[in-house]
């Protein structure tokens, strides 16, 4: 029988051993967690590198340093009839039309992503900031040229009805493309204000690198906003052809959105008064959550103006800004799956799902806003979000965003990535003219349809394209003529880039002020 002393020594040894074992266990678990997080960040970073390439796929104009082998110069004479250069810009989707309204939205979102996540785009050896800035400038150069004089803005290049009766590469089109404009007698407050928002946001992106260009963008943004506010009307009324493709449901949201961005770019009290005055009473729709999209900017405006309050930029004695922030909170509470007010607009697997056409737009847009709002909370040390008595943290918003991103990247019932070129399984029959026709094929308007009807996968990969996505029952039909699910859009990519650039590092903070 062991002595009491030896038993104490044994017990002490057991404690040391147990302590080491527990310590090793927790160290291993911590390492696993770090490693897992690192793998997750690498996944999002890898996906970001892929997603960024779709902007190059969609470029019109003279393609210097062309990175997409199957793309070539196109639209070189666009704008000639009006003695302006509209050769640049980007095609909105799988066709060869340049729609100014969604293109400007693409530029605004891409600018916002760069302003908030620019440093993250260069983290972990990604070196993507310059690429994002170049893609943005390709659009803003077009937007600048589309505004040749005060109160005149060209908003569309090409006849969409005619274009959709053809199936040919943009490089093969030789017909003249008609131009559509808004002006004082045919107003377009929505498209003019969205263009103003894009140029104001982009002016901050280029403020340090090219101050002259930045000043030009801001000057045009101010003028376009004044035009949009003075001559009110929806552009799709003035340009009826647009109703079939990008019909605007109103312009009040764009006016508030543009004024918010102009405030951020100038700190002008007049722009802040605009979003808190009569225009807000008319159009802000406080207390009612909405979906952020190319057509409705209210949720984006609410999150952007929440930023002003989070970082104490302005006194809100009249409580108007607080109304925006409270509505943004309502939006966030609706997105969180465990919230008492969680929206039912989601699939069984948890994907935000609002409409059959281009379903993933709302998923990535919602997740994009959630990362921003969560980062604002984290940076301002405002760590609690109340949803009818239940408390959530910034990490909850980030977890929601990750769940949406993971679904898009392959964690879904189809085990399919909806981003072309990412993962081992992704759509091969994307509804995209250029991708579906061999680069050396000589086709006209009608004979190109044999490529639409071909049963073979696309000969060219539309790398980075985010397709429309699954139906509510989470099925996806990978067929080239299934434009409902299989057509990618440039503005989807802007939202995706914003989302992925947030998740590609562990950082959950932002700079408290824009440049």
The three-state secondary structure class of 9 is helix
Largest CA distance in the chain: 106
From the CA atom positions of the chain, what is the Rg in Å? 25
93 neighbors 85 (Cβ within 8 angstroms) = no
Q: Please give the pLDDT value at position 23.
A: 40
Separation between Cα atoms, residue 507 and residue 505, nearest integer Å: 5
Short-list 295, 294, 292, CA closest to 303: 292
Identify which of 54, 65, 55, 90 has the alpha carbon closest to the alpha carbon of residue 75. 90
All residues at 6 or more sequence positions from 220 whose CB lies less than 8 Å from its CB, including other chains? 144, 147, 196, 199
Give the fold, CATH level 3, of 56-250. Glycosyltransferase (1.50.10)
HEC profile of 160-187: HHHHCCCCCCHHHCCCCCCEEEECCCCC
The Cα-based distances of 158 to 152, 241, 299, 333, 386 in angstroms read 18, 11, 31, 42, 48
Other C-beta atoms closer than 10 Å to the C-beta of 393 total: 14
**DSSP assignment of 333-355:** HHHSTTSTT--S-B-TT--B---
* Digit-coded pLDDT (tens) for 286-309: 999 999 999 999 999 999 999 999
The β-bridge partners of 156 are 99, 180
- The encoded tokens of residue 186 equal 């045919």
In 365-438, beta strands by DSSP E:
385-387, 390-392
Q: What is the pLDDT of residue 39?
A: 66
Q: Give dist(CA 292, CA 176) in Å, integer.
A: 35
Q: Is-contact 433 170, C-beta < 8 A?
A: yes
| Cα distance between residue 152 and residue 240, in whole Å | 17
Instruction: Tell me which DSSP letter residue 74 carries.
Output: B
- Please give the backbone phi and psi of residue 131, each rounded to the nearest 5 degrees, phi first: -65, -40
Question: What whole-number distance in Å separates Cα of residue 280 and Cα of residue 210?
Answer: 34
Per-residue pLDDT of the chain (515 residues), as tens digits, is: 333 333 333 323 332 333 433 343 333 343 333 344 466 789 999 999 999 999 999 999 999 889 999 999 999 999 999 999 999 999 999 999 999 999 999 999 999 999 999 999 998 888 999 999 999 999 999 999 999 999 999 999 999 999 999 999 999 999 999 999 999 999 999 999 999 999 999 999 999 999 999 999 999 999 999 999 999 999 999 999 999 999 999 999 999 999 999 999 999 999 999 999 999 999 999 999 999 999 999 999 999 999 999 998 788 878 899 999 999 999 999 999 999 999 999 999 999 999 999 999 999 999 999 999 999 999 999 999 999 999 999 999 999 999 999 999 999 999 999 999 999 999 999 999 999 999 999 889 999 999 999 999 999 999 999 999 999 999 999 999 999 999 999 999 999 999 999 999 999 999 999 98
Rounded to whole angstroms, the Cα distance separating 102 from 188 reads: 14
E strand or H helix that includes residue 157: strand 153-157
Give the phi and the psi of residue 443 in degrees, each rounded to 5.
-130, 150
Q: Where are the domains of the chain?
A: 56-250
Phi-psi category of 168—alpha, beta or left, where left has phi over 0 and alpha has psi -120 to 50? beta
| Per-residue pLDDT at 27 | 36
Given this model, what pLDDT does residue 497 score?
98
State CA 15 to chain mean position distance.
55
The residues carrying an active-site annotation are 95, 431, 478, 487
Q: How far is CA 492 from CA 14, 51, 73, 181, in A?
A: 59, 10, 24, 25
CA dist list (Å): 346 to 229, 364, 401: 36, 13, 14
pTM confidence score: 0.92
305: phi then psi, degrees, rounded to nearest 5? -75, -25
Look up tokens 């002003």; give the residue. 308
Q: Where are the alpha helices (DSSP H) in 52-146?
A: 54-57, 100-121, 129-145
């Amino acid at each position: 029988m062991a002595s009491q002393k030896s038993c104490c020594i044994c017990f002490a040894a057991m404690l040391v051993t147990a302590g080491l074992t527990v310590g090793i266990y927790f160290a291993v678990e911590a390492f696993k967690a770090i490693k897992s997080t690192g793998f997750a960040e690498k996944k999002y970073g890898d996906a970001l590198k892929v997603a960024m390439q779709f902007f190059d796929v969609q470029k019109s104009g003279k393609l210097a340093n062309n990175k997409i082998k199957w793309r070539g110069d196109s639209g070189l004479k666009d704008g000639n009839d009006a003695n302006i250069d509209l050769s640049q810009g980007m095609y909105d989707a799988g066709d060869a039309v340049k729609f100014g309204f969604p293109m400007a939205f693409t530029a605004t979102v891409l600018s916002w992503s760069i302003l908030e996540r620019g440093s993250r785009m260069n983290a972990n050896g990604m070196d993507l900031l310059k690429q994002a800035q170049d893609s943005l400038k390709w659009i803003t150069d077009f937007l600048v040229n589309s505004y040749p004089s005060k109160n005149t803005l060209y908003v569309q290049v090409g006849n969409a009805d005619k274009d959709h009766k053809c199936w040919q590469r943009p490089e093969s089109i030789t017909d003249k493309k008609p131009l559509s404009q808004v002006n004082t007698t045919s107003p377009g407050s929505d498209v003019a204000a969205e263009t103003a928002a894009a140029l104001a946001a982009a002016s901050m992106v280029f403020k340090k690198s090219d101050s002259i260009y930045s000043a030009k963008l801001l000057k045009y943004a101010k003028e376009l906003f004044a035009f949009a506010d003075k001559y009110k009307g929806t552009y799709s009324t003035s340009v009826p052809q647009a109703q079939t493709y990008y019909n605007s449901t109103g312009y009040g949201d764009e006016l508030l959105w543009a004024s918010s961005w102009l405030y951020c770019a100038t700190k002008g009290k007049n722009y802040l008064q605009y979003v808190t005055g009569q225009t807000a009473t008319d159009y802000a729709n406080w207390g009612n959550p909405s979906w952020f999209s190319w057509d409705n900017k209210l949720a984006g405006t609410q999150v952007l103006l929440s930023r002003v309050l989070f970082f104490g930029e302005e006194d809100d004695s009249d409580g108007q800004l607080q109304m925006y922030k409270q509505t943004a909170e309502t939006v966030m509470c609706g997105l969180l799956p465990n919230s008492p007010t969680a929206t039912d607009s989601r699939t069984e697997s948890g994907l935000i799902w609002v409409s059959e056409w281009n379903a993933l737009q709302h998923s990535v847009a919602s997740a994009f806003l959630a990362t921003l709002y969560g980062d604002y909370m984290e940076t301002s040390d405002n760590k609690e979000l109340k949803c009818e008595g239940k408390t959530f943290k910034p990490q909850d918003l980030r977890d929601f965003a990750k769940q949406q991103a993971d679904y898009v990247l392959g964690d879904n019932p189809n085990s399919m990535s909806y981003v072309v070129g990412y993962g081992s399984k992704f759509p091969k029959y994307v509804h995209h003219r250029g991708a579906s026709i061999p680069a050396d094929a000589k086709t006209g308007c009608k004979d190109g349809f044999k490529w639409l009807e071909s049963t073979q996968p696309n000969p060219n990969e539309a790398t980075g394209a985010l397709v429309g996505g699954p139906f509510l029952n989470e099925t996806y039909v990978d067929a080239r003529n299934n434009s409902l699910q299989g057509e990618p859009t440039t503005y989807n990519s802007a939202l995706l880039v914003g989302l992925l650039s947030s998740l590609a590092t562990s950082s959950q903070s932002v700079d408290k002020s824009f440049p």
